[in-house]
Amino acid sequence: MRRYAVVGKPVRHSHSPWLHRHFARRTQREITYAALCPATTFAACCDAFFAGGGSGLNITLPYKGEALAYAQHASAFAQKCGAANVLKREANGELRAYNTDGSGLLRDLQHRCGGVAGKTVLLLGAGGSARAAAHALAAAQPAHLWLHNRTYTRAQELAAACGGTAHGTPPAGAQIVINATSAGHADGITLPAEIFAAAELAYDLSYGAAAADFMQQAQRGGARHTADGSGMLAWQAAFSFAIWEGVLPGAQEVARLLRQPAAPR
């Protein structure tokens, strides 16, 4: 039986064990999936897991950067993002790092609004997940990719890296507005209502209560549709599963379950 796990700190809140056990049942794969919180270092935790025969890991905060450095090889996309959320042990024992956050986001945007090609997209934030989002969005050929971040220099750096345009204040006129800040986990972020006036979709990478304030501001500002990041979460897990097990499970059903008030874990 192949062994997988998610590594993070904290990790108790993670939906990944439930998601992957669900995918395994659906695809009739025999796997185990655990949640690991390093007692000492990230590397020591991974060393022990792979020495014990583990096949692959998901990586969550705060270890996505360390995961990239830990692997011997990395996908081009993970290298661009400077972060990995998937490690896979290859047949020769070497580890390869991947980042499925970007493909998870694009897949959910495809489902929600037909994708970003030819559209103007405003991305808020320039942290780890914004980096993955920006590189994935840029590759999906939007008409314009506008970036705004509280710390402007980080937006400039990200714009230079992915080919977008940095804005000191969030501009109006985007058809898709994406919140990739972590503000919803703290005091929130107050945005100018006009940035939502032309939006067909306002999307928050956060999910559950952390996305509520952004989605309410978007609705008040005139966004036609709003969504939280539960679909992205489900699809990044499905793409991880595909890397390990060679089969891509459907993730729409689990995304719907994750949106319920008492989401399964």
- Catalytically annotated residues: 64
**Whose Cβ is closer to ligand NDP: residue 8's or residue 142's?**
8
Query: Closest approach of Cβ 149 to ligand NDP, in Å?
Result: 5
Torsion sign (Cα): 182, 185, 190, 196: positive
Q: Could you tell me the smallest distance in angstroms from the CB atom of residue 69 to ligand NDP?
A: 17
What is the C-alpha R_g of the chain? Answer: 18
Distance CA 198, CA 8 (A): 38
Q: Which two tokens stand for residue 258?
A: 């994750």
Residue 105 beta carbon to ligand NDP: minimum distance, rounded to whole angstroms: 7
129 part of the interface to ligand NDP, by CB under 6 A? yes
* Token couple for 59: 């990586």
Q: What is the DSSP string of 99-163?
A: --HHHHHHHHHHHHHS-STTSEEEEE--SHHHHHHHHHHHHT--SEEEEE-SSHHHHHHHHHHHT
Q: Indicate the SS3 state at residue 6.
A: strand
Q: Is 150 in the site for ligand NDP (CB under 6 A)?
A: yes
Nearer to ligand NDP, 16 or 89 (CB): 16
Report yes or no: 228 and 211 within 8 Å, Cβ to Cβ.
yes
By the rule CB under 6 A, 73 interacts with ligand NDP? no
Interface mask toward ligand NDP for 84-123; x: CB under 6 A: -----------------x--x-------------------
Nearer to ligand NDP, 89 or 227 (CB): 227
Name the site residues for ligand NDP (rule: CB under 6 A).
61, 101, 104, 125-130, 149-151, 154, 180-187, 189, 205-207, 210, 229, 232-233, 236
